[in-house]
Amino acid sequence: MKIAIIGAGTAGVSVLRELVKYEEFKDLEVDIYDNPENMGQGVPFQNDSQELLINLPSDQMSLNLDNPREFYEWYEQQDDFKFEHPEFLPRFIFGHYMKSYLNQYQQSYDNINVIYKEVTEVYIDSKIGNTDINYHVCTSNDMSECKVYDIVFLAIGTLSYHDPYHLKGTKGYIQTPYPTYNTLDEVEDSDRIAIVGTGLASLDVIRYVTAHHPNLPITVTSRSGHLPSVRGEMPDIEFKYITPEHFNQIKKDYFGNVPLQQAIDLFVKECDRFDLDLDELVHRKQGEPIHDLTYDLDHPKEVGIFQTLLEMVKENMNWIWNSFSHQDQEKFLKEYHGILKANSNPMPPTTAHLIIDGIHDGLIEIKKNVKDIYYDEPNNRFCIYYEEENEKPSIFDIVINATGAKTHLTDLDHDDQLVINLENRQVVQSHPLGGIQIIPETNQVISPRYGTLRRMYAFGQLTNGINQSRNGVNMIVKQAASVVDQMFENMREH
Ligand SMILES: Cc1cc2nc3c(=O)[nH]c(=O)nc-3n(C[C@H](O)[C@H](O)[C@H](O)COP(=O)(O)OP(=O)(O)OC[C@H]3O[C@@H](n4cnc5c(N)ncnc54)[C@H](O)[C@@H]3O)c2cc1C
């Protein structure tokens, strides 16, 4: 059996880690594809500034489901990198940990072939009248170089960044902030800088700028102006009400679905167990950064429990999300997704203090209600307009785009050529809520032309319509383990 793993980040390396555990692995021939920079590290854990930290304590995130401390133990055993506060390590260290496994497997197994190229096409060439399917994987337009596989793992990570103000390609517009240590290469100390987006990517830029250009003022702006929450004291909790058993029971009475309101009621019951004032926590943000950050810093217990409960919702989102009707999924995205997002992936308290100090010192300005951004070509500058009618536009020399990755196939452009080609050749189809269609239980891709592709699996953000909010390392590792297990199970049966 020939296997292609496309993308060697968290999902790709995890698939490899799972494959080598099985006795039958010796009968496989595995090719793993990625570009030379990201091979084994992926995008979030690429080599970058040490200010960009993983969003979990270092001893809680690993590629080993049986040992959450494995990454931390790896860190302690090596001598190349040492940090004063290893509780939250830089992201690129996690990349080196992942890559160490890829290197180890490459050296130990002759049947693993690392190909330092990006894949441009995956097509199916089944003979008319024949339902046997093989996958042709290409890295160029030369079809004679495409290789044929029995099994494909699509592990290409996030789609490219949004470009909400159509500024891509404009001088002074930085389309993606990563790697941050190159982002400001062309920037002068006298330049006026705006970061568009107030989510996780903008925090990365703030951390980088404050460490390396301590006197450079920055404006961080978005429509809501809301920053992510601050990490509270997150305890170990188990759900009592939001369980598969309760969901299965409810489904019997509602045509196979769990009504969203019933799921919300169960969540409220979980919050009641800890005497949380849910209303207060949901509405605690006032859009005033210092107030909002200080609130979280001052209420670490309540905020921490709330964050933990939401984190557990995310971890169990596969069966929760896929129990809802389509209408309820849309309603969830409209009414509740913002709460989940605002309280997930919280920033460490140190970052909150950094931002508060920056605002006090006049070096960081957080501005909400962005309406539009124009490039004023004759004057070589950007004008940011706000909703407030009488407010004059703010003028900037540099705009850094930190609005995050696209989620829907309809928004793709040439930066996502592989996915565009996959859709065009009818190998994949879009999911109405984002990404591509897969079977939630098995991660098998659903093609509009060939039906369920039994031997093509997709992971990560490409599957966000199904794997809603389930893109953290631990969740991806779990999916990789279960998919590889099923794959061997299927192979034994056929
Ligand atoms: C900025 C950022 C920070 C994050 N921090 C955390 C964190 O601290 N903790 C956490 O749990 N989660 C974090 N996440 C979530 C993160 O996305 C996942 O944890 C995980 O890294 C995703 O794994 P992946 O394999 O899907 O994507 P990636 O790890 O990005 O891997 C995808 C790989 O596919 C390659 N690729 C893309 N196209 C092709 C192609 N055509 N051919 C070949 N290869 C291709 C890419 O180069 C890349 O190496 C973060 C996400 C982002 C965006």
Distances from the Cα of 449 to the Cαs of 149, 228, 432, in angstroms? 19, 41, 17
| Residues 386 and 270 placed together within one structural domain of the fold | no
| Residues 45 and 144 placed together within one structural domain of the fold | yes
For atom 27 of ligand 1, the residue with the nearest CA is 157
- For residue 417, pLDDT beyond 90: yes
pLDDT value at position 273? Answer: 97
* CB contact burial 146-171 (16+ within 10 A = b; e otherwise): bbebebbbbbbbbbbbbbbbebeebe
Q: How far is the CA of 405 from the centre of ligand 1 (A)?
A: 11
CB within 6 Å of ligand 1 — which residues? 6-12, 33-35, 38, 42-44, 54-56, 61, 91, 118-119, 155-158, 200-201, 418, 459-461, 471-473, 476
Closest CA to 70 of 484, 474, 483: 474
- Tell whether 235 is covered by a domain: no
Q: What is the pLDDT of residues 273-315, one digit of tens each?
A: 999 999 999 999 988 999 999 999 999 999 999 999 999 998 8
Q: What is the mean pLDDT of residues 143-171?
A: 95
Q: 160 phi and psi, to 5 degrees?
A: -70, 170
Using CA atoms, how far apart are residues 122 and 146, in angstroms rounded to an integer?
9
- For residue 389, pLDDT beyond 80: no
With bands split at pLDDT 50, 70 and 90, how would you rate the model's confidence at 485?
very high
- For residue 465, pLDDT beyond 80: yes
| Residues 143 and 12 placed together within one structural domain of the fold | yes
Side chain identity at 226, as an amino acid letter?
A: H
Residues 6+ apart with CB under 8 A from 108: none
For atom 52 of ligand 1, the residue with the nearest CA is 44
- Tell whether 315 is covered by a domain: yes
| Residues 339 and 352 placed together within one structural domain of the fold | no
Domain that holds residue 434: 2-160+407-493
Structure tokens that stand for 453 in this block: 């592709």
For atom 37 of ligand 1, the residue with the nearest CA is 156
Residues 6+ apart with CB under 8 A from 471: 460, 461, 464
Q: How far is the CA of 382 from the centre of ligand 1 (A)?
A: 31
| Residues 155 and 142 placed together within one structural domain of the fold | yes
Q: What is the mean pLDDT of residues 334-362?
A: 91
For atom 26 of ligand 1, the residue with the nearest CA is 157
- For residue 69, pLDDT beyond 90: yes
pLDDT value at position 9? Answer: 98
pLDDT value at position 467? Answer: 86
pLDDT value at position 448? Answer: 92
Closest CA to 460 of 20, 159, 257: 159
Q: What is the mean pLDDT of residues 116-141?
A: 90
Higher pLDDT, 213 or 483: 483
The count of other CB atoms within 10 Å of the CB of residue 69 is 15
The best mutation among 471, 474, 475, 479 to test binding of ligand 1, ranked by most ligand atoms within 8 Å of the C-beta, falls on 471
Q: How far is the CA of 72 from the centre of ligand 1 (A)?
A: 20
Side chain identity at 244, as an amino acid letter?
A: P
CB distance 268 to 336 below 8 Å: no
Domain count, the chain: 3
pLDDT value at position 41? Answer: 98
**What DSSP string runs through 214-246?**
TT--EEEE-SS-PPPPBP--------SSSSHHH
- For residue 14, pLDDT beyond 90: yes
Which domain CATH number covers 448? Answer: 3.50.50.60
- Tell whether 236 is covered by a domain: no
The best mutation among 10, 55, 98 to test binding of ligand 1, ranked by most ligand atoms within 8 Å of the C-beta, falls on 10
| Residues 124 and 137 placed together within one structural domain of the fold | yes
For atom 31 of ligand 1, the residue with the nearest CA is 9
Q: Please identify, by atom number, the ligand 1 atom nearest to the C-alpha of residue 38.
A: 49
- Tell whether 208 is covered by a domain: yes
Q: Please identify, by atom number, the ligand 1 atom nearest to the C-alpha of residue 12.
A: 25
pLDDT value at position 400? Answer: 94
pLDDT value at position 216? Answer: 87
For atom 17 of ligand 1, the residue with the nearest CA is 471
Q: Secondary structure of 409-466 in the HEC alphabet?
A: HHHCCHHHHHHHHHHHCCCCCECCCCCECECCCCCEEEECCCEEEEEEEECHHHHCCC
pLDDT value at position 189? Answer: 78
Q: What is the pLDDT of residues 447-456, one digit of tens each?
A: 999 999 999 9
Q: Please identify, by atom number, the ligand 1 atom nearest to the C-alpha of residue 404.
A: 53
Cis previous bond, 349, omega within 30? no
- For residue 132, pLDDT beyond 90: no
Distances from the Cα of 236 to the Cαs of 17, 32, 60, 65, 306, in angstroms? 27, 36, 12, 17, 12
Q: What is the pLDDT of residues 186-215, one digit of tens each?
A: 788 788 999 999 998 999 999 988 888 888
Q: Which of 294, 319, 343 is the last residue of a domain?
A: 343
Structure tokens that stand for 329 in this block: 């999924």
The best mutation among 351, 473, 479, 483 to test binding of ligand 1, ranked by most ligand atoms within 8 Å of the C-beta, falls on 473
**What DSSP string runs through 249-268?**
HHHHHTTT---HHHHHHHHH
Q: What is the pLDDT of residues 225-272, one digit of tens each?
A: 899 999 999 999 999 999 999 999 999 999 999 999 999 999 999 999
| Residues 34 and 79 placed together within one structural domain of the fold | yes
For atom 16 of ligand 1, the residue with the nearest CA is 472
- Tell whether 167 is covered by a domain: no
